[in-house]
Amino acid sequence: MADKIYSEYPPPLSPEQEDYLVQTVKNWTIEHGLCVRPSTAIVSEEANPKNVLATNAPVTLFPSPFPKSCFEQARSLQQVYNELYAAIASDEQWLEEIMKELIEVDDFLANLWKIHLSVKEEGYVQDLTLGMFRSDYMLHTPEDSPPSLKQVEFNTISSSFGGLACLVAEMHTHLATFPSPEHPAAYPSHPLFSDSNDTSSIKSKGHPPHNAAVPTLTASLAAAHAAYGPSRSQPQLPTCILFLVQDTERNVFDQLALSTHLYDHHKIPSFRLPASRMLAYTSIPSKESNPSRPLIYTPPYSSSTQYEVTVVYFRALYTPTDYDTPTSWAARHHLERSAAIKCPSVLLQLSGSKKVQQVLTARPPDTDHLKAFLPHHSDEKLESMRTTFAPQYSLSTTNTADEPEGIRLALDEKTAANHVLKPQREGGGNNIYRTNIPPFLSSIPKEQWKQYILMELIHPPTEAKNTALRSDGQVASGNVISELGIFGTCLWKNTSGSTKPEILHNTEGGYLLRTKGKESDEGGVAAGFSSLDSVILYE
Amino acid sequence: MADKIYSEYPPPLSPEQEDYLVQTVKNWTIEHGLCVRPSTAIVSEEANPKNVLATNAPVTLFPSPFPKSCFEQARSLQQVYNELYAAIASDEQWLEEIMKELIEVDDFLANLWKIHLSVKEEGYVQDLTLGMFRSDYMLHTPEDSPPSLKQVEFNTISSSFGGLACLVAEMHTHLATFPSPEHPAAYPSHPLFSDSNDTSSIKSKGHPPHNAAVPTLTASLAAAHAAYGPSRSQPQLPTCILFLVQDTERNVFDQLALSTHLYDHHKIPSFRLPASRMLAYTSIPSKESNPSRPLIYTPPYSSSTQYEVTVVYFRALYTPTDYDTPTSWAARHHLERSAAIKCPSVLLQLSGSKKVQQVLTARPPDTDHLKAFLPHHSDEKLESMRTTFAPQYSLSTTNTADEPEGIRLALDEKTAANHVLKPQREGGGNNIYRTNIPPFLSSIPKEQWKQYILMELIHPPTEAKNTALRSDGQVASGNVISELGIFGTCLWKNTSGSTKPEILHNTEGGYLLRTKGKESDEGGVAAGFSSLDSVILYE
């Protein structure tokens, strides 16, 4: 049935219908802040010298169909995933074991690890950590079995698009229900747009589910802010949350959705600080004057007013290219040793490495990391989690006597045809697909193989199609691949000597669908369009 | 005291403070839809071929001080003003008397009047009229007396900026109170920004009053929609409100604020229709098939779905330049004869002429139009209204034997120095100021003098200053002149044979402050900046 749903969706548009839909979306996006700052490819710097212009975020004109059971499974696993990553980030020894060989080849991970060791030596002054996560999945639809979820990535830092994703769901709901759900003006009629009764072959609510990403993410910041407690400065200072942002951020309205909600609903002020100015505008008192190391923010525009930072929310310094000034690493170290709650800490960021994801796929009887990290969860729950793991393999030869399975699968052209080779290194290189894998591996020294992970290909619905309004106003239609992200948050406390986190706040809520134009059957993803989307669930 | 308030406001900004304030405003505006589409002077058509870009509406960085008593007087008069203009629009004979001599010289007014006569001959099929008004004032601060209000204009058609004005008040309130009213981050401290206690010399709430323009204006559309009653078509059609808009409208987000609120809070769908397409996409059944003349809207994108229009809300066809196609006048006639409630009718639009405003200033014992139109209101109320009239004079010589006072004042250089000569003609020409008046009048034939109205100059606070962020991102500071608009709405019924309207809905709510850079002491208004503003009230 899934095939039929994708092959007959979205409904075709006449030129007049497309005009109306595109015009409505152009206006709706700007009216509601579903915006980005345009790239210089869209508007040159000379044409926009004061950077005042905005344009719509790239969005699909229609929500994309998604099986309800898979969506619900993803939601039902999120709090367990949150707990899993809290446990991983709390187990320094386990992580060190995983990281050891990567650190040898990856400066970025090595630098992060060094920061952790340095702060550990000095002694951490904050035992709370906040995670604002997004677990990303693709729908796997092999010919012979029902659709299932496969996890692509678990984001432990700078999980973005919660703010804009809420607006996309709202916009698609508006388009599907205005002026009435029975006769929407913007969409041609289609079974997925009608709140189906029992006689219909497809069950659907007719519009995307409500997206609670903003309140969910914001509530976790508020929980961390409250858990921080009173100011540790003498005299006490007013407190705030700091959004650490990139110096040139085009996705600013996604972030503002959170800070605005944080203030409007929780009365917690937050400030945006570009990463390059972190050391200039924050300070930590000397050990002698205040050993508790509060992070003090002195706004550039008002040196007489100081704030104590309860939470540093990273929307920068997550990728190697963010560390582009001589003091970037010093800034990260500075934050890590402060009393501010980090979202995330260095260890939590490291827990999000692809390598960790691969190691977790190990199954009993070999190892059972899941059971070890989540002893209180039922086998059924852990098994449900395992079904979301795409098979993936290390190409390392370090810890094993036999030829590892990954290497065997990668070198045989027949099995390689169903795999993708992903570089382990953060922020580096492109994926190698299918039969390109064996010759590629042969072309590089064997010692470098461990930098890669081999992953079985996920087969998303081949017939999926959608139309997007890009930020330059171009309308692009075609075959697409979608990735579902589920947002979750976790606040926990680490007790000295224990590797078990004490969970204080653990929530699931909100989703992101990102839909990209398919460039080729190589699985490559086109720059043609990559859009924010929402789901229309079907049974 | 007023002088002192204006001379010490706004507080000076350091470069860092201005940077922060400007950056905050740039982001806040886009995040909240306080936007316009950029003019081609800001972004060329080639750089924006798909018209996707948006920029901040021009806004002041600070709210402008305004005496609380004057603000409250303006509010307290609004419902009386609403009633006055409902009465004027209901008294065809009185209006005809006023219009007679203008029609001779003004094609625009003549064409409107002809439409009324034509529909009157055929017979009106709708006895309800909706007015969405804005009464505009300037603060008059002559040296020797306390500040008072003087009415500049009473808008009876396309009263704009209610949508964006609400957002400006919200933004200024945010800037004045974030993160705390005691220590706002964006504004330097200033007595007007603190919720003053009794010991302070200036009383202020510290931030602008809430602006209720959107709910007020929207509620009147909803009241008219409800009063229209069920569909008059056979078979009945779903109903909607039509926003008649200009073909190239940059101020679209101001209008969307109303249509969005109308749908979200009243569940009433509305559609935008450019004036040039009015005849193509709306129709009125023939007399034989349906004599009640419902206005049928057939959306271009869905010819199978038709709607019956309950209210036509004019945000176009208000000015001569809007009638730029061969069928513009036919479109206006088409709407006027339909059963849709017009906001406004032709007669209501004509009631907003400058000439009517001038005639109303006639005082007893000469004439007492106010008392005649508003017999149930107290003399005190009418006197309060009269204090808002700036003295103004006809230069017509038609109805009087003596040399009229206006001509005497205009020709004497001494008295002319305190006046402005305004062309009566809609949408035409520039004002003539002060001592330029006598030579100007001498240079044109005496028969043309009646096209002008002489108005005593209003003296706004000379020390008023503000800083604006223009839509091109430039920051402009300097002396300013502000105009306060108060929004009001009125729905009434006209009974055949009676000149007295039956008022069904009469509300006041919301305000607009428009602040312009002062170019020179000639009273001319600079193109330098014209910004949306809000008020900070003082006592």
C-alpha R_g of chain A: 24
A426 is catalytic: yes
Q: In a 3-state reduction of DSSP, which class is residue A416?
A: helix
C-alpha A41/C-alpha A499 separation (Å) is 48
CA B476 to chain A, closest CA, distance in angstroms equals 14
Q: In angstroms, what separates the C-alpha of A14 from chain B's closest C-alpha?
A: 8
Query: For each of chain B's 539 residues, which pLDDT tens digit applies?
Result: 567 899 999 999 999 999 999 999 999 999 999 999 999 999 999 999 999 999 999 999 999 999 999 999 999 999 999 999 999 999 999 999 999 988 888 899 999 999 999 999 999 999 999 999 999 999 999 888 899 999 999 999 999 999 999 999 999 999 999 999 888 999 998 989 987 655 556 788 899 999 999 999 999 999 999 999 999 999 999 999 999 999 999 999 999 999 999 999 999 999 999 999 999 999 999 999 999 999 999 998 887 889 999 999 999 999 999 999 999 999 999 999 999 999 999 999 999 998 899 999 877 677 889 999 999 999 999 999 999 999 999 888 765 555 688 999 999 999 999 999 988 776 656 789 999 999 999 999 988 888 888 999 999 999 999 999 999 999 999 999 999 999 999 999 999 888 899 999 999 999 999 999 986 434 433 445 789 999 999 99
Specify burial of residue B197 (Cβ count, 10 A radius: 0-12, 13-18, 19+).
exposed
Rounded-to-integer distance, Cα A452 and Cα A410, Å: 11
Q: What single DSSP character describes residue A434?
A: G
Q: d(Cα A283, Cα A290) in Å, to the nearest integer?
A: 12
Q: What distance in Å separates the CA atoms of residue B194 and residue B203, rounded to the nearest whole number?
A: 9
Beta bridge partners of B198: none
Residue B456: its H or E element: strand B452-456
CB of A299 within 8 Å of a chain B CB? The answer is: yes
Q: Which of A150, A470, A514, A518 is catalytic?
A: A514
Which chain A residues are closer than 8 Å to B11 by Cβ? Answer: none
Q: What pLDDT score was predicted for residue A520?
A: 45
Enter the tokens of residue A74: 């993803």
**H helices present in B136-271, as ranges:** 162-177, 213-228, 252-266
Chain A, nearest residue to B474 by Cα:
A50
User: Which residue from B minimizes the CA distance to A253?
Assistant: B31
Q: Which 8-state DSSP code applies to residue A324?
A: -
Q: How far apart are CA B413 and CA B430, in angstroms?
A: 20
Identify the active-site residue in B514, B518, B530, B531. Answer: B514
Scored b (16 or more CB within 10 A) or e, B149-159 reads bbbbebbbbbb
According to the model, what pLDDT value does residue A404 have?
80
- Chain B contacts in chain A segment 474-503 (CB below 8 A): 474
CB contact under 8 Å between B185 and A299, yes or no, is: yes
Reading the block at residue A124, the tokens are: 């951490």
Check whether A120 has a pLDDT greater than 70: yes
- Answer for the pair A294, A231: CB distance below 8 angstroms, yes or no: yes
Record: contact B271-A20, CB cut-off 8 A: no
Query: Quick check: is A414 catalytic?
Result: no
Confidence of residue A518 (pLDDT cuts 50, 70, 90): confident
In angstroms, what separates the C-alpha of A38 from chain B's closest C-alpha?
A: 8
Query: SS3 for B242?
Result: strand
Interchain CB distance below 8 Å, B260 and A31: yes
Question: How would residue A301 be classed by pLDDT, with cut points 50, 70 and 90?
Answer: confident
Predicted confidence (pLDDT) at residue A426 exceeds the cutoff of 70: no
Residues from chain A that touch B19, judged by Cβ atoms under 8 A, are: 300-301
> Nearest chain A Cα to B19, which residue?
A301
Q: Residue A190, SS3?
A: coil
| Other beta carbons less than 10 A from residue A274's beta carbon | 16
Cis peptide before A12 (omega within 30 of 0): no
Q: Would strands B295-297 and B307-315 be described as parallel, antiparallel, or unpaired?
A: antiparallel
The H helix count followed by the E strand count for chain B is 17, 21
Nearest alpha carbon to residue B229 among B274, B135, B172, B294 = B294
pLDDT value, residue B183? 86
**Of A422 and A312, more confident:** A312
CB contact under 8 A, A52 and B256: no
DSSP line for A55-99: EEPPEESSPEEEEHHHHHHHHHHHHHHHHHHHHHHH-HHHHHHHH
Q: Return the number of CB contacts < 8 Å for A and B.
A: 132
* Other beta carbons less than 10 A from residue B14's beta carbon: 13
Nearest CA in chain A to B14: A301
Instruction: Write down the ipTM of this complex.
Output: 0.95
Reply yes or no on whether the pLDDT at A521 is more than 60.
no
- Which carries the bigger pLDDT value, residue A142 or residue A347? A347
What is the residue whose two structure tokens read 């991102």? B473
CB contact under 8 A, B473 and A20: no
Lowest mean pLDDT among A76-85, A87-96, A345-354, B428-437: B428-437
B249 assigned to a ligand binding site: yes
Distances (CA, A) of B232 to B190, B241, B290, B336: 59, 15, 8, 17
B126 class by beta-carbon count within 10 Å (0-12 exposed, 13-18 middle, 19+ buried): buried
* Residue for token pair 């996560």: A133
Q: Among A75-84, A149-158, A457-466, A519-528, name the one with the lowest average pLDDT.
A: A519-528
Does residue B30 belong to the interface with chain A, where contact is any CB pair within 8 Å?
yes
A-contacting residues in B 304-333 (Cβ below 8 Å): 305
Name the residue with higher pLDDT: A198 or A271: A271
Give the residue ranges of DSSP H helices in B229-364. Answer: 252-266, 278-281, 328-337, 346-351, 354-360
Amino acid at B446: K
Which one of A37, A426, A470, A530 is the catalytic residue?
A426
Choose, from B160, B204, B345, B506, the residue flagged as catalytic: B160
Residues in B 221-260 with any Cβ partner in A closer than 8 A: 238, 240, 252-253, 256-257, 260
Catalytic residue among A342, A354, A450, A518: A354
Range 119-178 of A in CB contact (< 8 A) with B: 178
Q: What's the rounded mean pLDDT across residues A510-530? A: 70
The letter for the amino acid at A379 is: D
Query: Which H, E and C letters describe B471-535, residue by residue?
Result: CCCCEEEEEEEEEEEEEEEEEEECCCCCCCCEEEEEEEEEEEEEEEEECCCCCCEEEEEEEEECE
Active site residue A502: no
Which CA distances in Å does B356 have to B351, B361, B406?
A: 6, 9, 16
Helix (H, G, I), strand (E, B) or coil at A495: coil
**What pLDDT digit, counting tens, does each position of A349-397 carry?**
999 998 899 999 877 677 889 999 999 999 999 999 999 999 999 888 7
Token pair listed for B518 = 């002062």
The CA distance from A20 to the nearest CA of chain B, in Å, is 7
- Better pLDDT: B261 or A447: B261
Nearest residue of B to residue A262 by CA position? B179
Report the chain A residue with the minimal C-alpha distance to residue B240: A179
Q: Does B49 touch chain A (CB under 8 A)?
A: yes
Q: For this structure, is B381 an active site residue?
A: no
**Chain A contact for B350 (CB, 8 A cutoff):** no
A483-509 average pLDDT score: 95
Query: What pLDDT does B396 receive?
Result: 81
- Please state, in angstroms and rounded to a whole number, the distance separating the CA atoms of residues B408 and B476: 41
Q: Which residues of A touch B301 (CB under 8 A)?
A: 14, 16-17, 19-21, 185-186
CA distances from B314 to B24, B55, B246, B255, B336 (A): 34, 25, 9, 11, 12
A37 is catalytic: no
- The verdict on a CB contact (< 8 Å) between B55 and A51 is no
What is the distance between the alpha carbons of residues A464 and A7, in angstroms, rounded to a whole number? 7
3-state class of A145 per DSSP? coil
Please indicate whether residue B514 is annotated as part of the active site: yes
Whether A46 and chain B come into contact, CB under 8 Å, resolves to no
Q: Choose, from A37, A75, A337, A422, the residue flagged as catalytic.
A: A422
Domains along chain B with CATH numbers: 2-375+458-538 (no CATH), 394-456 (3.30.1490.50)
**Catalytic site residue A205?**
no
Chain B hits for A300, CB-CB cut-off 8 Å, are 16, 19-20
Nearest residue on chain A to B13, judged by CA atoms? A301
Whether A43 and B44 lie within 8 Å, measured CB to CB: no
